[in-house]
Structure 1
Amino acid sequence: LYAFPLAITCRKQDGGQAGIHECLRYAGPVPALTQACQIPCQDDCQFTSWSKFSSCNGDCGAVRTRKRTIVGKSKKKEKCKNSHFYPLIETQYCPCDKYNAQPVGNWSDCILPEGKVEVLLGMKVQGDIKECGQGYRYQAMACYDQNGRLVETSRCNSHGNPIFLQCYTFAVFDGGAKMHMHILSEWREMKAYRSVF
């Protein structure tokens, strides 16, 4: 029994190189770095070749099987009859066209649509005009197959698009020295310069 090392690379959907942190974040656990294999010895158990897998009925979650049998003198060897080490039947899930979209990461800040922005009294805060009004927060979606593997978002159709939530931002001034931005029920304190009107 030998173990051969495997090379693992992280790729984007377009085939380009990606950082390993992206794969670890979105694609699940790293595959095994070694894979067991066996070079037959003279006294090893002998079997027929595996049959073709049985057909699938199209249902997600269905399994298909393939078989093999013990041949020759191996039929008389007890170790060859041990199905844990020498299985005679293999099963695998049938291909499935059902995919599951799951949210990934945090919600974005409240983003106001163009043309719907109210400027707060023309006040400048650290060089930026602070805006308020009704907008949307977004969250990315990832698409997974029935085995929990990350697949192209297009397979989830519209369910793979980012999801959004309506939000409203407004500002409250505390003595002109501090400003609080409100996004839904989330408060963040921001330092502001005193405004002179």
Structure 2
Amino acid sequence: VVAQTGNALLLTGCGLFYFGSQRFFGRPVTWRLWGAIALLSLAVLTWFLIRPDYRVRMVVFTGTMTACVLAHARLVLRDGRGFAARLIAGTLLLQAVVLVGRGLASFWVDGAQSSRFAMTTVQTAYIASYCFSVLLLSVGVLLMASERVREEFELLATRDALTGALTRRAVLQAGGEEFDRWRRYGQPLSLVLLDIDHFKQVN
């Protein structure tokens, strides 16, 4: 019962992490698909309470987790950018490799009556690598969130909230950059000023 509960919690955590990433990137959350996969996996794992088979249970669990982790890595690689996204995607791919290795090891290394709680070399390496990957994922998520906050603050500092136009500070900065480019390359430089009458009625 303890092993099945642990499997269920890990699958739930993996799914919630994936859903959180979907929301972070502004994508619709696919609750139904992953809910169905999770329920099916839990049903199969629960079946092993009646007919315990360590090897098959390990393959079902690691296979489901690997599918979730690979889908998550694909999402981050597709929608993420920067070092944080690469760190998260790389760590998720590492997790997938570890999970596949653990599933295969249940056939070639573990015995038929092995226990998830037996501290074998394979089990120790699996737990250590998984804990390390969770640490890396935590760092990656914090970096990605802080990058998002920095971008939002930068947008607030350089854009008018109502019109979306550049603020005075941003205009001066952009003008300085263009002036430096003009001095460097000697290409023509133009400045257009518009004055809208009665703009206060709009803004």
Shorter-chain TM-score bucket reads under 0.3
Q: Which has the higher helix share?
A: 2
Structure number with the higher strand fraction is 1
Kindly indicate whether structure 1 or structure 2 has the higher relative contact order, using CA contacts under 8 Å at least 6 residues apart: 2
What is the TM-score when the length of structure 1 is the normalising length? Answer: 0.21
Return the TM-score normalized by structure 2.
0.20
Larger radius of gyration: 1
